[in-house]
């Protein structure tokens, strides 16, 4: 099984599927939907089968493939996954078919609160979703840094057209803002990527972009710091971190809810994945140099995102700002430089993808019923749509890290892992838990609680299709909260190898003087 080109197939299948769906007759949208769903389900099954062949404790990168692409410049088609990349690939392929099901009837008309007719047909929407899936798998699987950059930039294309063609009344502004922010970060990253080639010639004797070869290269001084910044700024924009986060609320307010699940649930993880994979391992000295500043910005993101979420009147903007806060936790765990913090951060990426994905889907269902994203357009929903209210509550409680739900374990690991090395940032970050309780519970109270508003009394509950889209995510949220060990078992070896490259070790536990001097008492 390991000799089969799993990752190339997982990249090619949705890419070819996107082309085929896009070429179907415009008037046969039903066939386009069924084809897109079928392709995404096959993709998910193949990824799960591949996962069963992953050997925990084996080689770090598995299912590897390496072929020359641009030989003159040392560029390869090189793919492979370690435990961290594997769980993010699984996150991607599980969410895509659920997004397609959720968008079955709403594709092209769920982006804004006002009627904004789509610029393109529904079949193009589903083709763009499949194209985005191919890019997402590719960016997590690439083990050639130049190939990673290609996928990193290529992801912008389907997202730009999804927002710009199927979003709300200000979709053009949101799409262009997203594109400009991303292109600015990508330009900085391109300079750093190109710089790596002559540097590898000098350090290794041959030019290369292969991650494992670059990992053996020792880069220090100002060169390492500039390269680190080139990568880090691009990833911070993608993540997004304060102060380069402002594209996200605008994109969230104007995007179709289904596409938002992938933009925030998966696409933004490329930023934090890139920090963990490239910033720390390729430039360990520069990463240590930048750690105090990065931790400060992570704490600011946690508090700032949560405070702004509390003050929102638009549901999609509210969830977007909660994500800014959550990404602060993920970055905090990554730069805590402890195995517990980084394993928690990686687990947080997965858990956030599902909990926020569920929230965006449910918000999309609510908007489609009221044609409004304003919180004050709702009230008393739990009386007329109890299933919708119940699933919203579970997803929201996961977002505030309630014990027994998925995000609790990852957030606790991040805080404990950070506290063992950086106490003040951990203590300040803990305030985000209190703020999360405020914005989630208050939002639930205002939208779901109280007497049903006159305009809400006729609101239907979740349909069978909507239940099928949301139920698997709720099940995963509960399962991951009760038993996260299988995911952590895959993540931990990769995290430890990464920390070894950075040459840091977990802080030794402090022993009290009496025990140190007299030994443990029986």
Say what angle helices 406-419 and 339-370 make with each other, to 10 degrees. Answer: 140
Q: What does the pLDDT read at residue 89? A: 96
For 485, the token pair is: 């060990």
For 89, the token pair is: 């690939």
Q: For 375, list phi and psi in degrees, rounded to 5.
A: -60, -35
pTM: 0.91
What CA–CA distance (Å, rounded) separates 491 from 449?
A: 40
For 383, the token pair is: 């009386």
Write out pLDDT tens, residues 242-297: 898 899 988 888 888 888 899 888 888 999 999 999 999 999 999 999 999 999 99
User: Which range (134-148, 463-477, 490-504) has the least confidence?
Assistant: 490-504
Check if the beta carbon of residue 325 is closer than 8 Å to that of residue 438: no
User: Which range (220-224, 505-509, 514-518) has the least confidence?
Assistant: 514-518
Write out pLDDT tens, residues 462-488: 999 999 999 999 999 999 999 999 999
What CA–CA distance (Å, rounded) separates 72 from 337?
A: 37
Write out pLDDT tens, residues 317-371: 999 999 999 999 999 999 999 999 999 999 999 999 999 999 999 999 999 888 8
pLDDT higher than 90, residue 458: no
What CA–CA distance (Å, rounded) separates 267 from 105?
A: 24
């Amino acid at each position: 099984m390991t000799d089969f080109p799993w990752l190339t197939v997982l990249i090619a299948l949705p890419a070819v599927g996107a082309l085929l769906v896009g070429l179907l007759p415009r008037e046969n949208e039903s066939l386009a939907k069924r084809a897109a769903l079928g392709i995404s389900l096959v993709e998910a099954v193949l990824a799960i089968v591949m996962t069963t062949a992953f050997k925990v404790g084996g080689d770090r990168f598995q299912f590897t493939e390496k072929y020359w692409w641009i030989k003159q410049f040392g560029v390869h088609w090189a793919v492979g996954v370690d435990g961290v990349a594997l769980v993010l690939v699984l996150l991607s392929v599980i969410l895509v078919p659920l997004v397609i099901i959720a968008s079955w009837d709403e594709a092209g008309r769920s982006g804004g609160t006002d009627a904004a007719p789509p610029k393109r047909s529904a079949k193009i929407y589903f083709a763009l979703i499949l194209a985005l899936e191919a890019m997402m798998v590719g960016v997590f699987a690439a083990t050639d840094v130049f190939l990673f950059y290609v996928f990193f930039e290529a992801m912008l294309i389907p997202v730009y057209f999804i927002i710009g063609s199927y979003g709300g009344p200000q979709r053009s502004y949101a799409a262009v803002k997203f594109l400009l922010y991303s292109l600015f970060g990508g330009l900085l990253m391109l300079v750093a990527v190109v710089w790596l080639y002559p540097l590898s010639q000098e350090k290794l004797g041959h030019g290369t972009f292969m991650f494992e070869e670059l990992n053996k290269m020792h880069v220090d001084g100002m060169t390492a710091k500039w390269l680190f910044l080139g990568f880090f700024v691009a990833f911070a924009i993608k993540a997004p971190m304060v102060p380069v986060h402002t594209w996200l609320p605008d994109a969230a307010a104007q995007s179709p809810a289904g596409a938002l699940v992938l933009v925030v649930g998966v696409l933004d993880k490329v930023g934090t994945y890139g920090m963990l994979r490239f910033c720390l391992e390729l430039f360990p000295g520069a990463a240590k140099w930048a750690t105090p500043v990065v931790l400060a910005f992570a704490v600011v993101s946690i508090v700032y995102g949560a405070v702004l979420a509390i003050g929102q009147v638009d549901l999609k903007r509210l969830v977007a700002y909660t994500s800014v806060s959550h990404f602060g936790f993920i970055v905090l765990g990554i730069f805590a430089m402890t195995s517990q913090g980084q394993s928690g951060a990686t687990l947080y990426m997965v858990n956030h993808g599902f909990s926020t994905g569920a929230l965006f889907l449910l918000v999309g269902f609510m908007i489609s019923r009221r044609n409004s994203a304003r919180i004050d357009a709702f009230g008393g929903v739990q009386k007329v749509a109890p299933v919708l209210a119940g699933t919203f509550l579970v997803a929201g409680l996961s977002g505030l890290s309630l014990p027994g739900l998925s995000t609790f374990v990852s957030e606790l690991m991040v805080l404990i892992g950070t506290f063992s090395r950086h106490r003040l940032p951990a203590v300040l970050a803990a305030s985000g838990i209190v703020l999360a309780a405020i914005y989630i519970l208050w939002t639930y109270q205002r939208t779901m609680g109280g007497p049903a508003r006159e305009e809400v009394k006729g609101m239907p509950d979740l349909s069978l299709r909507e239940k099928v889209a949301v139920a698997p995510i709720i099940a995963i949220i509960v399962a991951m909260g009760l038993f996260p060990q299988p995911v952590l078992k895959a993540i931990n070896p990769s995290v430890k190898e990464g920390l070894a490259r950075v040459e840091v070790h977990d802080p030794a536990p402090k022993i009290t003087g009496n025990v140190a001097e007299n030994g443990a008492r029986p």
